[in-house]
Chains A and B, each alone.
Chain A
Amino acid sequence: MLPFSYTRAADGDAAIAAGALPGAKFLAGGTNLVDLMKGGVEAPQALIDISRLPLAGISALQQGGVRIGALARNSDTADHPVIRSRYPLLSRALLSGATPQLRNAATVGGNILQRTRCHYFYDPGFQMCNKRNPGSGCAALEGHNRMHALFGASAHCVATHPSDMCVALSALDALVRLRSAAGERAVAMLDFHRLPGDEPHIETRLVPGELIVSVDLPASSFVKHCAYLKVRDRASFAFALVSVAIALDVREGLIHEARIAMGGVAHKPWRAFGAEQLLVGAPVDAAPFAEAAGAAVEGARALKHNAFKIDLARRAVLRALRIAQS
């Protein structure tokens, strides 16, 4: 690890001021950042420790939704009674990720900002990586890319976003609330992460010094019919080859609204809007799930080693829809 200064932020304003300086990074749970610093991928000059700011609360919103503080630990969020009873999809997604030790340390804000697990990004032994060294090229494009993206990739980057939590947040139409010296703003989870384009090193809409303060979920109508299905190389503690979040709002036997989001397939959680529309109005007992699953992978583009993920994604969507159906 290269030397850095360590500062514990006294309050949000101090954190934002310090975090806006060049070379500064916020430190919360540190489960990804410290690892990347050890590997020489990240080398901040200053760590601004925000872990003790009062942003860990989870509280009901007046309009029926819930506000999850950015510093809420993944385990606390997954096990919070309101989340377990009203947003089981989010609990399931969180519990599908990592291990108890990591979930006890990792925060909601950090989970959103975690970096890709592309092996070429993670290993500075590879010179080429447009995220680490913008303009150097993408080693994964012609390399081992079985874990990589099916949707929205570019000639500059084929990495995927590794979060499970964000897939559920995308399906639930979460809002990410941000704070900077200029004030507060909110960005939809759907728009928060960027596609790689020709600037894959710019991964989110955050600007320097901007701090995630909470994730807000709208009132949930998806309690009874939801599912999170994660397909990975081993039964636990592995990133998704493909994951699927399904949320169905069923009213009097008919699908009033459907949400289908996939993880492990793009640079951001990937909503299958076309597939969702196929299900609206259909009776939940006889909905065109197979057609929707097919539509969910329309437009997928395989790399050399990840073509298997197209069929895997289609089948995972179909299976998750059937789980959510019952």
Chain B
Amino acid sequence: MTETATSDALALVLKVNGADRELQIDPRVTLLDALRDHLGLTGAKKGCDRGQCGACTVLVNGRRVYSCLTLAAAHDGDRIATIESLSAQELRSVQAAFVEHDAFQCGYCTSGQIMSTVALLDEMSAGAASAVTPRLTGPIELTDDEIRERMSGNVCRCGAYPNIVAAVRAVAGES
């Protein structure tokens, strides 16, 4: 059992973007703050810091989560993927679609939107359902309704939603 005295620094290892990163941090530090302030990975953004906007979206053990709403201490040994980890091809195709479809204005939410898009494609491949999926059995078609529902955890303050949907539709069509 790992135990610390009250808010003493805790030793842990995060497998961030393929590399083991050792940290000594206060248990209050969120995964987002560990990535940004302790490891210098500023791709994941701090928007609301309350799990309501999605700008901080990263993949933990391959699945998208809000990194602001989870403590780094709880992720000892976990695989963390930030936008910095995307392969050149992944980044190129998703980024290119976002540029092509003008899917942002200020860009602050964009890294979260892109991480969610990458995760959405994986979830579709795995057959995951959503609240708007008409039937829970059988193949699922990625309609615009599905895209909107599956991207609803990422808020865009500039309101680029129609273009984000178009970008996701384009990337999904390629893959």
Chain A residues close to B by CB (< 8 Å):
1, 3-10, 14, 27, 29-31, 34-35, 38-39, 45, 47, 49, 51, 75, 78-79, 84-85, 88, 91-92, 95-96, 98-102, 104-105, 235-237
CA distance in complex: A285, B102 (Å): 50
- Asked if A85 meets B50 with Cβ closer than 8 Å, knowing A1-B28, A34-B69, A45-B6, the reply is no
What chain B residues lie within 8 Å of A85 (beta carbons)? 136-137
Complex-state Cα separation, A129 to B128, whole angstroms = 40
Min Cβ gap B45→A in Å is: 14
- Indicate if B64 sits at the interface (CB-CB under 8 A): yes
Interface residues of chain B, those whose CB is within 8 Å of chain A, are: 1-7, 10, 26-28, 30, 49-51, 54, 57, 60, 63-66, 69-71, 73-74, 76, 116, 119-120, 123, 126-131, 133, 136-137, 148-150, 152-153
Residues of B within 8 A of A47 (CB): 27, 71
Is the pair B153, A99 in contact by a Cβ cutoff of 8 Å?
yes
- Chief secondary structure at chain B's binding surface: loop
In Å, the complex CA distance between A120 and B1 comes to 38
Cβ of B24 to closest chain A Cβ, rounded Å: 13
- B128 in contact with A79 (CB, 8 Å): yes
User: CB-CB < 8 A to B27: which residues of A?
Assistant: 4-6, 47
Q: Are A14 and B71 also in contact (CB < 8 A) when A5-B27, A84-B129 are?
A: no
User: Once the chains bind, are A101 and B54 in contact (CB under 8 Å)?
Assistant: yes
Shortest Cβ-Cβ A-B pairs, 3 listed: A99-B153, A3-B7, A6-B27
Check if A3 sits within 8 Å of B69, measured CB to CB. Answer: no
| Cα A30 to Cα B26 with chains together (Å) | 17
Complexed CA–CA distance, A35 and B56 (Å)? 14
A50, chain B: closest CB distance, angstroms: 10
Contact check, A5 vs B5: say whether CB atoms are below 8 A apart.
Answer: yes
- Do A27 and B129 touch (CB < 8 A)? no
Q: Is the CB of B54 within 8 A of A99?
A: yes
Residues B30 and A6 in contact, CB atoms below 8 Å apart: no
Find out whether the CB atom of A10 lies under 8 angstroms from the CB atom of B116.
no
Known: A7-B4, A101-B54. 13 other contacts (CB 8 A): A3-B6, A4-B28, A6-B71, A8-B76, A14-B1, A30-B74, A35-B50, A79-B129, A84-B136, A101-B57, A102-B69, A105-B66, A237-B153
Q: How many angstroms from the CA of A51 to the CA of B76 in the assembled complex?
A: 12
A4-B7, A38-B49 known; A104+B65 contact, CB < 8 A:
yes
CB distance from A31 to the nearest CB of B (A): 5
